[in-house]
Amino acid sequence: MADDPVRSPRQPGKARALPGHVGIRALRQHLPEVISTVQQTGQAVPITHHGKRVATLVPASQDPALPQIIAFASLKGGAGKSTLSMHLAAAMSKDRSVVVLDADEETSVWKWKLMAEENGLRLPFDVQVASRNTLVRTARQLANQGHTVVIDTPPNNREILKTAALVANLVLVPVLPTGIDMDRLGTTIELLQEVEAAKPDFSWAVVLNRAEARRRLVREAKEALGEYPKLRNAVRSLAAYATVFGAVPTELAEFEALWEEIKSVFQADEVEA
Ligand SMILES: Nc1ncnc2c1ncn2[C@@H]1O[C@H](COP(=O)(O)OP(=O)(O)O)[C@@H](O)[C@H]1O
Ligand SMILES: [Mg+2]
């Protein structure tokens, strides 16, 4: 194809699939083709002017506006951090490369992966273990390599919660709509507000988990959450979420909706900025 707009940098005269670059003039003429190449290959295409890179067209799955590091955190155990980490990671894997970092010494998501492997199953994302000392470095390295990172954190550990929040772009706080969980939320949120005050490029939101069964509780929980940021999409209590430990999460509709909501919030922020 003589007029393939995406050309090899080493052989400018010769059209090649990728890696390649597009000169500004070619971009004007061939924008739809260049965009579909980026979408189909999932690879970024440099835009050049007089042989110098002036911009890069990146696929939506690498959109820099989206959070690259998402941590699930709550000082309360049993709120659903590990369950939601694995399900959101599975939903996100449909349009990007995801790595779950297990920062909990109990290593429940790491064990989940090992058990899946023993059963001959392959999760659609990688799971790695990180300690408090390695968490920041590992998360940043993975994000720089183009992975979206999901950090699962332990309960009752302020240090790791803070470390995870410091490296994350977004912290999601799962909370069960019960009085005792709502009560414990305050300490988690205080910590997140400290991080928020110290760091730009940081957001957090509450996610109601096991929300549908007790409508009155859910209503009260929403009232109690008041002005705290919360996701519109909640997660229901489903047997499928509890019994999938050690296997590939497949019940993903609610997590796809959650991911779409996160994407739309972050992309909207970018437009307003
Ligand atoms: N939405 C849900 N539906 C059904 N079971 C859930 C749900 N969320 C969590 N669970 C179950 O509740 C227990 C605690 O969840 P877990 O994710 O381990 O919490 P955490 O990691 O915050 O301690 C687990 O047995 C898990 O399977
Ligand atoms: Mg856990």
- Residue bearing the CA closest to ligand 1, atom 24: 242
Judgement on whether residues 47 and 114 belong to the same structural domain of the protein: no
DSSP 85-126: HHHHHHHHTTTS-EEEEE--TT-HHHHHHHHHHHTT---SSE
Tens of pLDDT, residues 62-117:
787 899 999 999 999 999 999 999 999 999 999 899 999 999 999 999 999 999 99
- Residue bearing the CA closest to ligand 1, atom 15: 80
Judgement on whether residues 200 and 115 belong to the same structural domain of the protein: yes
Judgement on whether residues 30 and 110 belong to the same structural domain of the protein: no
Residue linked to tokens 């799962």 = 174
Q: Is 64 a member of any domain? A: no
Q: For residue 245, report the phi and psi dihedrals to the nearest 5 degrees.
A: -50, 130
Judgement on whether residues 123 and 42 belong to the same structural domain of the protein: no
> Of all atoms in ligand 1, which is nearest to the CA of residue 74?
22
Q: Is 273 a member of any domain? A: no
Mutate to test the pocket of ligand 1, among 72, 74, 83, 176 (most ligand atoms within 8 A of CB): 83
> Of all atoms in ligand 1, which is nearest to the CA of residue 245?
27
CATH number of 228's domain: 3.40.50.300
CB 116 within 8 A of CB 73: no
Rounded Cα gap, residues 21 and 9, in angstroms: 6
Judgement on whether residues 32 and 125 belong to the same structural domain of the protein: no
Average pLDDT on 135-161 reads 95
Ligand 1 centroid to Cα of residue 201, in Å, is 29
DSSP state of 213: S
Rounded Cα gap, residues 228 and 205, in angstroms: 7
Range of the domain at 21: 1-59
> Of all atoms in ligand 1, which is nearest to the CA of residue 155?
23
Judgement on whether residues 25 and 112 belong to the same structural domain of the protein: no
Relative to beta strand 69-72, strand 148-152 is parallel
Q: Indicate which ligand has the atom closest to the C-alpha of 73.
A: 1
Ligand 2 centroid to Cα of residue 3, in Å, is 54
CATH number of 2's domain: 3.40.1620
Q: Is 184 a member of any domain? A: yes
Judgement on whether residues 73 and 165 belong to the same structural domain of the protein: yes
Judgement on whether residues 33 and 141 belong to the same structural domain of the protein: no
Number of domains in the chain: 2
Cβ of 80 less than 6 Å from ligand 1: yes
Letter for the amino acid at 272?
A: E
Judgement on whether residues 89 and 180 belong to the same structural domain of the protein: yes
Judgement on whether residues 33 and 75 belong to the same structural domain of the protein: no
Which residues are paired to 170 by β-bridges? 70, 203
The model's confidence at residue 213, banded by pLDDT at 50, 70 and 90, is low
Judgement on whether residues 226 and 96 belong to the same structural domain of the protein: yes
Rounded Cα gap, residues 225 and 108, in angstroms: 29
Judgement on whether residues 148 and 252 belong to the same structural domain of the protein: yes
- Residue bearing the CA closest to ligand 1, atom 6: 242
Q: Closest Cα partner for 53 from 27, 32, 15? A: 27
CB 235 within 8 A of CB 254: yes
- Residue bearing the CA closest to ligand 1, atom 27: 242
The model's confidence at residue 16, banded by pLDDT at 50, 70 and 90, is very low
- Residue bearing the CA closest to ligand 1, atom 9: 80
DSSP state of 217: H
CB 91 within 8 A of CB 81: no
The model's confidence at residue 270, banded by pLDDT at 50, 70 and 90, is low
The model's confidence at residue 8, banded by pLDDT at 50, 70 and 90, is low
Q: Is 17 a member of any domain? A: yes
Ligand 1 centroid to Cα of residue 185, in Å, is 17
Q: For residue 96, report the phi and psi dihedrals to the nearest 5 degrees.
A: -165, 170
